[in-house]
């Protein structure tokens, strides 16, 4: 047995994008044990939502939980509040919510892919992916009026309508993005230098994924077919707009990249279908009721299953709001994924998990 070293990474580290602390126990550069500490950015948002803000204002507060999946949080909260109010939203609002969620998924997945490339030491590919990502940010800005905090879903519907010229520009920009995505797919799939850092690194088996209860692209890369879009139909009609499950089998960094790239094709198809079949109608269901009872909602955020629980007591302020972010479910899997890998591969593995700690700690 060689000498063991403990190497801390984080909570602030140049290879880490998130305030996340890992303590690696290494032996001859191999990681044999990992400790993770994730609660560095607790902001007390749940308590603020149940004390300071009225239930209609909370959808703007939870949008600030996370910058990348802002729309997932606002939509999940809006849905849970609509369940408490016992209202049904117009079909057009549902379609517009799905449109923005999918545009958001495109930019989030491309961001994650670019960081995997960067942390694997491929700076040029990072730049290229970020350059191609810009179109999705501009489309989101055109649809929602803001690049990051969309504030698009509100309790009862959506806040803005989709203009016909913006719908046309989405279709044309997606058409120009398709060859770029093919190019990215080619590089991530066939580049030899990238494969050295990605193939067979940070692998998780299907059995482990099932035992550790993983969600999102992390689980789908290991062959576990879990996707909320495939399981629920009552709140957002995903199958109607052409959702298709994507899975890989290897469970390593490479297959996580592949999952994200192949999901982009699905997202593009969903967006095209939504715009071509956008139903006419109102944007919002008005009501003067107050939230009452308990409700839960699940929604597929870019990183996996997002869970919301809310309890109302017939007043303006909610009694309890609980947010469970996808990264929280994946922490156990993250720790497992490092085992037996070289310490030098750790940054790429961390980036491939796509951790979002500000969601997790709230």
Partner 1 sequence: MKTFFKALGNLVKKPVTTKYPFEQTFIPDDYRGLIGFEESLCIWCRRCEAVCPPGAIVFSQDMEGKQTYHYNRAVCIYCGECVRACPKEGALFQTAEPGHCALKEENINNGWNKLFAEALESRELYAAEKKRKAAEKAAADKAAAAAKKESEGNSGTTA
* Residues contributing to the site for partner 1 (CB under 8 A): 53, 56-57, 60-61, 124, 131, 138, 141-142, 144-146, 149, 151, 154, 159-160, 163, 166, 191
Residue (53 or 308) nearer to partner 1, CB = 53
Distance of alpha carbon 305 from the chain centroid: 8
Residue (20 or 158) nearer to partner 1, CB = 158
Residue (141 or 182) nearer to partner 1, CB = 141
Residue (47 or 245) nearer to partner 1, CB = 47
Residue (146 or 172) nearer to partner 1, CB = 146
3-state class (DSSP) for residue 298: strand
Q: At its nearest, how many Å lie between partner 1 and the CB of residue 204?
A: 30
Q: At its nearest, how many Å lie between partner 1 and the CB of residue 173?
A: 11
Residue given tokens 């044990």 in the structure block: 33
Residue given tokens 């849970």 in the structure block: 80
| Helix ranges (DSSP H) in the chain | 45-51, 58-62, 70-85, 91-119, 123-144, 164-190, 192-198, 206-211, 216-221, 228-231, 253-276, 326-337, 346-353, 357-361
Question: What is the C-alpha separation between 149 and 146, in angstroms, rounded?
Answer: 6
Contact 296, 307 (CB under 8 A): yes
3-state helix, strand, coil in the chain (%, to 5): 50, 15, 35
356 burial via Cβ count (<10 Å: 0-12, 13-18, 19+): buried
Residue (187 or 332) nearer to partner 1, CB = 187
Q: At its nearest, how many Å lie between partner 1 and the CB of residue 191?
A: 7
Q: At its nearest, how many Å lie between partner 1 and the CB of residue 45?
A: 13
Q: At its nearest, how many Å lie between partner 1 and the CB of residue 190?
A: 9
Q: At its nearest, how many Å lie between partner 1 and the CB of residue 352?
A: 22
Residue (48 or 332) nearer to partner 1, CB = 48
Measured in degrees and rounded to the nearest 5, phi and psi for residue 129 equal: -65, -40
Q: At its nearest, how many Å lie between partner 1 and the CB of residue 138?
A: 5
Question: What is the C-alpha separation between 228 and 216, in angstroms, rounded?
Answer: 9
Among 227, 188, 206, CA closest to 336: 206
How many angstroms separate the first and last alpha carbons of the chain?
A: 42
Residue (93 or 209) nearer to partner 1, CB = 93
Q: At its nearest, how many Å lie between partner 1 and the CB of residue 237?
A: 26
DSSP type of residue 240: G
């Amino acid at each position: 047995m060689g000498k063991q070293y403990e190497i801390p990474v984080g909570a602030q580290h140049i290879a880490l994008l998130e305030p996340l602390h890992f303590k690696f126990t290494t032996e001859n550069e191999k990681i044999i044990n990992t400790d993770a500490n994730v609660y560095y950015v607790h902001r007390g948002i749940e308590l603020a939502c149940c004390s300071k803000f009225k239930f209609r204002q909370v959808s703007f507060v939870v949008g600030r939980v996370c910058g990348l999946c802002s729309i997932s949080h606002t939509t999940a909260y809006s849905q849970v509040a609509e369940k408490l109010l016992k209202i049904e939203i117009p079909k057009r609002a549902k379609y517009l919510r799905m449109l923005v969620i999918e545009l958001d998924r495109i930019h989030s997945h491309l961001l994650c892919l670019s960081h995997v490339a960067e942390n694997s030491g491929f700076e040029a590919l990072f730049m290229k992916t970020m350059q191609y990502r810009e179109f999705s940010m501009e489309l989101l800005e055109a649809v929602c009026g803001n690049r990051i905090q969309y504030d698009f879903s509100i309790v009862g519907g959506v806040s803005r309508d989709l203009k016909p010229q913006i719908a046309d520009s989405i279709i044309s920009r997606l058409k120009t993005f398709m060859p770029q995505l093919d190019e990215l797919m080619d590089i991530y799939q066939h580049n030899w230098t990238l494969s050295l850092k990605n193939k067979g690194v940070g692998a998780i088996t299907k059995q482990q994924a099932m035992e550790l209860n993983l969600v999102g692209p992390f689980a789908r890369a290991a062959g576990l077919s879990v996707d909320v879009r495939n399981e629920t139909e009552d709140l957002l009609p995903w199958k109607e707009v052409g959702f298709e499950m994507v899975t890989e089998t290897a469970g390593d960094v490479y297959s996580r990249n592949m999952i994200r790239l192949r999901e982009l094709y699905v997202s593009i198809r969903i967006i095209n279908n939504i715009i071509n079949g956008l139903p006419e109608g109102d944007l919002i269901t008005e009501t003067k009721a107050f939230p009452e009872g308990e409700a839960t909602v699940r929604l597929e955020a870019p990183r996996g299953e997002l869970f919301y629980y809310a309890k109302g007591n017939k007043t303006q302020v909610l009694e309890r709001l609980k947010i469970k972010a996808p990264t929280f479910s994946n922490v156990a899997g993250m720790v497992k994924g490092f085992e037996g890998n070289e310490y030098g591969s750790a940054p790429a593995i961390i980036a491939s998990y796509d951790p979002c700690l500000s969601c997790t700690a709230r």
